[in-house]
Amino acid sequence: MGIKVCKFGGTSMADAKAIARVESIIRADKDRRYVVVSAPGKRFKDDIKITDMLYRCQKEAAETGSCKNSFSVIRDRFTEIAADLGLNFDIAAVLDETEAAIDAHADSPDFAASRGEYLSARVMAEKLGFPFVDATELIRFDSHGNLNAPYTEDKIKAKLSKTEYAVIPGFYGKDSFGNIKTFSRGGSDVTGSVIAAGADADLYENWTDVSGFMVCDPRIVPDAQIIRLVTYKELRELSYMGASVLHAEAIFPVQKKRISINIRNTFDPTAPGTMIVPTEKYVHADGQIITGIAGKKDFTVIFVEKSMMNAEVGFVRKLLSIIEHYGICIEHVPSGIDTLSLVIESKNLAGGVLNDIVNEIRESVSPDYVHVTENVALVATVGHGMARKSGTAARLFTALAKSNINIQMIDQGSSELNIIVGVANADYEKCIASIYREFFGQGS
């Protein structure tokens, strides 16, 4: 028997009907042995997420000593779910215990927030008849708040080697002081990935409310195709540039073990979804040149020009040291013989920081010319097929020219996996639609 680790997101756990659907998915495949769940998400557009309510509970407990008023919403939601599922266990006692624990940990937002996944997993375990394994038994953080991967893997192996099936809460674990510690929002994806790696799973299934990654943002191209197969490296590029079906940190634990990820839709379980694979498992589809298009707005480009820059030892180091002094990350550094551009997220340059940096550049390296361009969007076109097919860049640039889009910056990685262009924020949506239309023949 193989091992599949299945993570179900907040929408998949939103109410009894959705949870019953999750149960049918799990029971359809005996290899789906370890189930990681999120807290219940929104049931409708204006609904309040359980996690957001739990943060309110912590705040109320810190201010008044009791979270009773805010917790009543949590209590009603889980009581309704348990009743609609026909569960026989004493949910009221579990909820009483949880409310008291939040009051006792009133100084810990992480503890309060983790209770959504905890309660969700208790309900799911009862529904499936699987053992409940608390994430605090498996997931460990170090004294700096980072995942302690080796220790966590040892804990997972020790526990799950003796547990054939289990339901595990996502999003949290325990730190080196014994306190509850959460991942960043969306961190149940990371929990699922860590469990899959520790269990040496054959596959990590990430069940959500979409049928996989789309080639580009469907808000820009409503009929965008689903990406059927993508490598970890391609996904890393797309996620960094804004594609957000999967938590960015969820890739690394399974990538290290060469475990594939299957993004699936709880509400359309027959759809194959998107398969994320190591490069060695990637099978190139004939005619497929690009895999996806993604981007982000609001960057600033600091363009620096100086004659004989390439012959001046330490020039780049001096520039980067200035940026480092301000604790700012640089996104890209396109360069020529006598020119260099620093691409930085605009939000990091607010409050006069941009002017200070430009002045320090002038004092430190005495450039011939410094120019700042703000309100720049970066658009990445990603795909393994780009390295195999000549003329890809020409097609891309021609498509943008036909749409009257001015390219302000070009940056192509040495891996030939992607081409990044900088355009005005105002041209962002048109840029993505134009590239999609060129390579997929559709798009508005």
Helix (H, G, I), strand (E, B) or coil at 324: helix
Note the pLDDT tens digit of each residue in 237-251: 787 666 667 777 888
Domain boundary among 209, 231, 257: 209
Note the pLDDT tens digit of each residue in 70-127: 999 999 999 999 999 999 999 999 999 999 999 999 999 999 999 999 999 999 999 9
Q: Print the domain residue range for 46.
A: 4-209
* 337, 310 contact by CB (below 8 A): yes
Q: The whole model's pTM is what?
A: 0.86
Residue range 55-80: mean pLDDT, rounded: 97
CATH (domain of 359) = 3.30.2130.10
Those residues whose C-beta lies under 8 Å from the C-beta of residue 339, and which sit 6 or more positions away, are: 303, 304, 305, 309
Domain boundary among 167, 186, 209: 209
* One domain for residues 302 and 414: yes
Give the burial string for 356-390 (b: 16+ CB within 10 Å, else e): ebbebbeeebebeebeebeebbbbbbbbbbbeeee
Is 351 inside a domain boundary? yes
Q: What is the pLDDT of residue 444?
A: 46
| Rounded Cα distance, 197 and 203, in Å | 10
* One domain for residues 183 and 45: yes
Antiparallel, parallel or unpaired: β 418-424 and 369-382: antiparallel
Is 355 inside a domain boundary? yes
| Rounded Cα distance, 221 and 436, in Å | 8
Is 417 inside a domain boundary? yes
* 361, 319 contact by CB (below 8 A): yes
* 421, 295 contact by CB (below 8 A): no
Q: Tell me the average pLDDT of the chain.
A: 92
* CA-closest candidate to residue 127, choices 19, 8, 280: 19
Ordered DSSP codes for 369-397: EEEEEEEEEEEEEE-GGGGTSTTHHHHHH
* Residue 26 backbone zone (phi > 0: left; psi -120 to 50: alpha; other: beta): alpha
- CA-to-CA dists, residue 403 to 26, 116, 391, angstroms: 48, 48, 19
* One domain for residues 179 and 306: no
Is 50 inside a domain boundary? yes
| Rounded Cα distance, 396 and 399, in Å | 5
* 399, 430 contact by CB (below 8 A): no
Provide the number of structural domains found in the chain. Answer: 2
Domain boundary among 209, 235, 251: 209
* CA-closest candidate to residue 377, choices 338, 400, 403, 408: 408
Helical pair 91-104 and 109-128, crossing angle rounded to 10 deg: 160
Label residue 287 by pLDDT band (50, 70, 90). low
Note the pLDDT tens digit of each residue in 145-204: 999 999 999 999 999 999 999 999 999 999 999 999 999 888 899 999 999 999 999 999
* One domain for residues 194 and 86: yes
Label residue 412 by pLDDT band (50, 70, 90). confident
Q: Which residues pair with 339 in a beta bridge?
A: 305
